[in-house]
Amino acid sequence: MNMIRSSNKQTQHDEENWFVLRTTPRGDSAAVSELVNAGYHAFSASAPIQKIGSKCKKTSPLFPGYIFLKCNINAHKKPSLEIAPHASQWVNFGGDIFPVQDSSISDLQDQVATLHNSGGIWHEYQAGDEVMVTLNDSTIPGKILETVKSPNSKVRVSLQFINNIVLAEAPYDKISPKLERQSHPPRRTRGKRRWIRQSTRID
């Protein structure tokens, strides 16, 4: 994202530009609402996020703690953040507040719209990925047959039942990545099969 840096600050601030604000913890949405209610154009870049193995989607900010505000920050027009208690400060560099290019904001808004239209942020399984598929109360190993293009579509998988391979379609939320088993070194004993408790030190 490009900031406009210029020695002519008066030219920068005589018109409305986009600026970045810091917010209070988890205050992005509230800060945007406060600024919009005060008559300003503000937004938080956010998208639905779908957790693996869940049908639920939660809209979360892509840049937690930061929002975008379009305004004129000329000395007589710069909005006071008192109108938005959840906006904590202007993002600045060495005390100078720089605007963000309109093209960068437009690109960001387009990307956010694309994320919303494609189902948000989700794990994209590729053909050949080894997965675990939940059927009723059982979890069965399987393999993805086709790259998954949407979390709303059925996923074609091959399932391994004992010695048989079965082709099937499963809902996205019934599939999770197959985790690699971690091998642990054998534990030492003190004799008479009394195990020595091992610990790992991370420097």
Q: In whole angstroms, what is the distance from residue 81 CA to residue 100 CA?
A: 19
State pTM to two decimals: 0.62
CA distance 81 to 73: 12
Average pLDDT of span 51-60: 74
> What is the tally of structural domains in the chain?
2
**Residue 54 lies inside a defined structural domain of this protein:** yes
Q: Please report the pLDDT score of residue 2 as a whole number.
A: 61
**What pLDDT is recorded for position 132?**
92
* Residues 108 and 161 both lie in one domain: no
Does 30 or 202 have the greater pLDDT score?
30
Q: Are residues 24 and 105 in the same domain?
A: yes
pLDDT at 6 over 50: no
- The 3-state DSSP composition of the chain as helix, strand, coil percent (nearest 5) reads 20, 35, 50
Identity of the highest mean pLDDT range in 29-43, 127-141, 145-159, 180-194: 29-43
- H-type alpha helices, the chain: 9-13, 28-37, 102-117
Q: Same domain, yes or no, for 91 and 112?
A: yes
pLDDT tops 50 at residue 54 = yes
The whole-number average pLDDT for the span 163-174 is: 89
Q: Which residues contact 153 (CB under 8 A, 6 or more apart)?
A: 172
Mean pLDDT of 28-52: 92
Mean pLDDT (the chain) is 82
